[in-house]
């Protein structure tokens, strides 16, 4: 029906996942088909097609007869310079009718969520379509719908299966600087003998994700085969979830959620639990930090989230425990990949100077997993976990996992640093987690792995003028100055009274 008559030229434009096709304004195909900017069209090579939004080119960066694609579109179609492409009108994306139904307040069956997720991961939705779906799901999602969405997200990803009778996992909904309990929990639980194939994310808006922190200690971009090998050998792993396609729908949704700065409960639950099911977990503990400047700001919201997480997990056949934890201040001292990794190592090495809050929180979660899995009686889990940690077994296991993943290295401090001190005497009464994280990001975290903040002013501490509140680390003088400028302009990142 359509001739393959436009030659691909790479303009190398990264539009961040949304597929864009570039065609000249005077292109006869554009004109005869009635295409104009923002039109969604199909682009074909000989084998397959993608859906893309049209951007019209009015200069000679494309010559007559040429066509270009955004980076993601080019990668999906796998075309190379000069390849002949065809374009055609797009039949409406069928599943958008469900999105429209959701927008107008209807409950959707699981089959509708499946259709939506399939189109989503195939790139058939524009960013505008995705935004409409996310917004439509922000309110009025029943537990049954969240189950449907979760199952649909699982359905479009890969799933790891294990021969173990049970597989444990741990997750934090995040929003708290530091709080890097995961590596410690995995080491203890794996040393105990429970399989824990942990996948983690890199930072999206925070100064470090668990995968960023572990990336300073070992290699984390394992594929599924490697995850299986490491876990078979050592009982646990530290993998970057982005390297495996366990929840490709989530990758797409999160990007637009971040752009909108929306975090709806239904999407959060589906995002977390779909990954747990996909990784093959059967018993899961979830950390929900609650605090004014954490992600979950009130106990009322935390309790509702806990109830809904439990209900959806039950429907999925997951054993789940949700712990509401203190979200008023950072856990540990480091904020940023390497600085957090140092905290983790200090705890594992039983360094007397290790942050005790991080150690205690890790033990609570490790103990909880041992009990949830039915391996230890109630109240005994934490003691067993403590014994494994303090005996050095957890540290041995940690190193063994790292070596199985490809190596174990210890990070260094960044070359530039500046100490931020108290301007007055008093007691630390409030910490703004969000702005403290921002300081670490401005200093270069997570891209500069050694950059970040070393926190030294926990709530309740008494300080004199000139006492250390936190140290900013950075890999360049410019970034240090940039972070400092922010600190000097902002009031009460740490409140003393």
Per CB under 8 A, residues contacting a copy of itself are: 10-16, 22, 25, 32, 34, 36-38, 40, 55-59, 61, 70-71, 92, 96, 100, 103-105, 126-132, 134-136, 138-140, 255-256, 259-262, 264, 441, 444, 447, 478-479, 482
Does the annotation count 263 as an active-site position? yes
Which of these is catalytic: 263, 287, 343, 432? 263
Quick one: tokens of 143? Answer: 């537990």
Of 277, 249, 275, 264, nearest in space to 308 by CA: 264
> Cβ distance 57 to 22 under 8 Å?
yes
Q: Considering the complex, what minimum distance in angstroms separates the CB of residue 416 from a copy of itself?
A: 14
> 322 Cβ partners below 8 Å, 6+ apart?
285, 286, 288, 305, 306, 309, 310
- Kindly give the pairing relationship between strand 49-57 and strand 40-44: antiparallel
Spell out a b/e string for 171-180, using b for 16 or more CB atoms within 10 Å of the CB, else e: bbbbbbbbbb
Q: Which is nearer to a copy of itself, 32 or 161 (CB)?
A: 32
Q: Considering the complex, what minimum distance in angstroms separates the CB of residue 334 from a copy of itself?
A: 19
Q: Considering the complex, what minimum distance in angstroms separates the CB of residue 457 from a copy of itself?
A: 26
- Alpha-carbon distance of 311 to 102, in angstroms, equals 22
Q: Which is nearer to a copy of itself, 24 or 361 (CB)?
A: 24
Q: Which is nearer to a copy of itself, 22 or 113 (CB)?
A: 22
Quick one: tokens of 73? Answer: 């579109």
Q: Considering the complex, what minimum distance in angstroms separates the CB of residue 77 from a copy of itself?
A: 17
Q: Which is nearer to a copy of itself, 390 or 447 (CB)?
A: 447
Q: Considering the complex, what minimum distance in angstroms separates the CB of residue 258 from a copy of itself?
A: 9
> Where do the DSSP E strands lie in 70-189?
84-89, 168-172
- Local structure of residue 449 (DSSP, 8 states): T
Instruction: Output the CA–CA distances (angstroms, integers) from residue 372 to 145, 196, 269, 379, 385, in the order listed.
Output: 27, 13, 20, 11, 13
Residues known to be catalytic: 263
């Amino acid at each position: 029906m359509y001739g393959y008559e436009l030659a691909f030229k790479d303009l190398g434009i990264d539009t961040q996942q949304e597929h864009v096709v570039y065609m000249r304004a005077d292109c006869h195909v554009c004109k005869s088909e009635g295409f104009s900017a923002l039109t969604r069209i199909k682009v074909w090579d000989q084998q397959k097609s993608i859906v893309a939004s049209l951007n019209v080119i009015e200069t000679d960066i494309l010559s007559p007869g040429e066509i270009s694609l955004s980076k993601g579109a080019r990668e999906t179609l796998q075309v190379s310079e000069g390849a002949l492409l065809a374009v055609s009108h797009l039949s409406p994306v069928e599943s958008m009718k469900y999105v429209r139904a959701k927008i107008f307040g209807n409950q959707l069956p699981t089959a509708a969520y499946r259709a939506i997720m399939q189109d989503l991961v195939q790139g058939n939705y524009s960013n505008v379509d995705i935004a409409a779906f996310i917004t439509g799901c922000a309110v009025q999602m029943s537990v049954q719908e969240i189950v449907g969405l979760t199952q649909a997200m699982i359905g479009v990803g890969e799933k790891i299966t294990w021969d173990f009778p049970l597989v444990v996992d741990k997750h934090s909904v995040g929003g708290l600087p530091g709080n890097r309990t995961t590596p410690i929990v995995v080491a203890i639980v794996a040393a105990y003998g429970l399989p824990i194939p942990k996948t983690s994310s890199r930072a999206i808006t925070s100064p470090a994700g668990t995968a960023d922190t572990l990336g300073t200690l070992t290699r984390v971009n394992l594929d599924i085969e490697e995850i299986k090998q490491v876990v078979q050998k050592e009982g646990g792993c530290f993998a970057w979830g982005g390297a495996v396609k366990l929840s490709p729908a989530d990758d797409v949704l999160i990007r637009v959620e971040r752009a909108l700065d929306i975090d709806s409960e239904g999407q959060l639950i589906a995002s977390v639990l779909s990954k747990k099911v996909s990784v093959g977990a059967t018993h899961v503990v979830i950390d929900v930090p609650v605090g004014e400047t954490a992600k979950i700001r009130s106990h009322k919201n935390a309790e509702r989230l806990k109830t809904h997480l439990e209900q959806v997990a039950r429907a999925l056949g997951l054993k789940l425990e949700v712990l509401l934890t203190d979200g008023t201040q950072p856990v540990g001292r480091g904020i940023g990949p390497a600085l957090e990794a140092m905290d983790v190592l200090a705890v594992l090495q039983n360094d007397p100077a290790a942050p005790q809050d991080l150690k205690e929180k890790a033990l609570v979660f490790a103990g909880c997993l041992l009990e949830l899995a039915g391996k230890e009686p109630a109240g005994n889990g934490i003691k067993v976990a403590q014994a494994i940690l303090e005996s050095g077994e957890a540290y041995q296991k940690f190193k063994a996992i790292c070596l199985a993943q490809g190596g174990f290295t210890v990070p260094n401090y960044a070359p530039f640093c500046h100490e931020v001190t108290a301007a007055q005497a008093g007691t630390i009464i409030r910490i703004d987690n969000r702005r403290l994280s921002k300081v670490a990001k401005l200093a270069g975290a997570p891209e500069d792995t050694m950059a970040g903040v070393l926190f030294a002013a926990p709530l309740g501490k008494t300080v004199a003028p000139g006492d250390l509140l936190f140290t900013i680390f950075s890999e360049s003088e410019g970034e240090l100055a940039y972070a400092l400028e922010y600190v000097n302009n902002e009031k009460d990142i740490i409140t003393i009274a």
